[in-house]
Amino acid sequence: MSPSFSIEAIAELISINLHLQKLSKRSQLHAHFLPNNHILCSLIEPKSVALSKPHTLFLSSLSKQQHGLIKGLVVNMDNHFNKVFPSFDPLNPEFAPGCRVIDTFSYHFSFHLFSKCNEDNFKFQIHQLDGLAIEFLKNPSHTLIIVDDSVKNNITTSISHVYIQNKPLTKTLHHAVNVTSIEAENFAIRCGINQTTSSTGISKIIIITDPIHAVREIFNPSSHPLQGYVTIILKELQIFFSHYQENLIEFWECPSQYNWSLHKVVDKETKLFNLIPFFLCKSSWNFSKKSEYDNLSSRWKMTFQASDLKGKHFLDLLVKAEDSGL
């Protein structure tokens, strides 16, 4: 019996037929990456938008002979197009070289990662977070934003707590279906920044979140599927930084498992909800890609477990690896 299934499983590789299917599915998603005037977008019909004069190249308007000349990949793109909502926006002025926040205000923002080296380092960083809270209490021009999210039944709950001195605590709750936690967290950050920048006298915004790599996408100058979310954040930051040269924003990472007091409150609130979606919803580009991968990975695991081709010595190999401490 062939040991190839065993080798692929140990190396965490899916079989070639599922890998090709993954590439095919992802190629269908790439239509959302194209600009609106691209020829492929002319063929794909946005059924969610009511157009008084449909494009003459829409697949649905072509004759049977013309439709037969169209490659199957384009047809699959058309079928898949309306299951995913667009989130790319590469031509937005906020991403033009020389106009980006990272070009004009690079010294106005900073990131502070949470290191997991040792116990002493952990205590020091918790002490730093406590210091941020004390700093906020001492300085009325500072504001504190705590953000977290959780996912249940493909519904992502994101919550932000905005602390501004001499004002009541502002809470923002948002539920979204078929989006990733990164997208939901960026939305919560967007709400927090919007509430803060609309207040007068704020010179420093401190955002505490987990994980911080979601925040880094805000300042990512390359094309990525979160552009639809971050353009509004970038516009608000441009205005905030332009008001005064001293205006700053700091992003601090706070992993949920370390139970820092203020972040723990937000984390608990995100887990209070147990919602179930009632209607079919479109998926984000990232969520759709992740779903395709999870589906193919599950099929591979089921195929491997049920197959006689996985090799009779596979379980022995696993036992030996465990015994050897690998």
Q: pLDDT digits over 117-160, tens only?
A: 677 778 888 898 999 899 888 898 999 999 999 888 888 899 99
Tokens 């915004």 sit on residue: 205
User: Which DSSP string do the residues of 208-273 spell out, in sequence order?
Assistant: EES-THHHHGGG--S--TTHHHHHHHHHHHHHHHHH-TT-EEEEEE--GGG--HHHHHHHHHHTS-
pLDDT at 124: 86
Per-residue model confidence (pLDDT) at position 39: 62
How does DSSP assign 120-149, residue by residue?
HHHHHHHHHHHHHHHHHHH-TTEEEEEEEE
d(CA 19, CA 296): 8
Options 3.40.50.1370, 3.40.630.30, 3.30.450.40, 3.30.420.10; CATH for 93-270 is 3.30.420.10
- Does the predicted TM-score (pTM) go above 0.85? no
Position 250 scores a pLDDT of: 93
Q: Helix or strand or coil: residue 301?
A: helix
**Tokens describing residue 228:** 């639809």
CA distances from 98 to 90, 221, 223, 229, 247 (A): 15, 11, 16, 21, 20
Q: Which residues contact 231 (CB under 8 A, 6 or more apart)?
A: 89, 92, 94, 95
Dist. CA 5–CA 71, nearest whole Å? 33
Euclidean distance between CA atoms 195 and 123, whole angstroms: 32
324's tokens: 């050897």
Kindly report the backbone phi and psi dihedral angles of residue 168, in degrees, each rounded to the nearest multiple of 5, phi listed first.
Answer: -65, 155
**CATH 3.30.420.10 residue ranges for the chain:** 93-270
Of 158, 201, 160, residue with least CA distance to 183 = 158
Low-confidence ranges of the chain (pLDDT < 70): 1-86, 117, 279-280, 285, 303-326
Give me the DSSP letters along 148-177.
Answer: EEEEETTEEEEEEEEEETTSPPEEEEEEEE
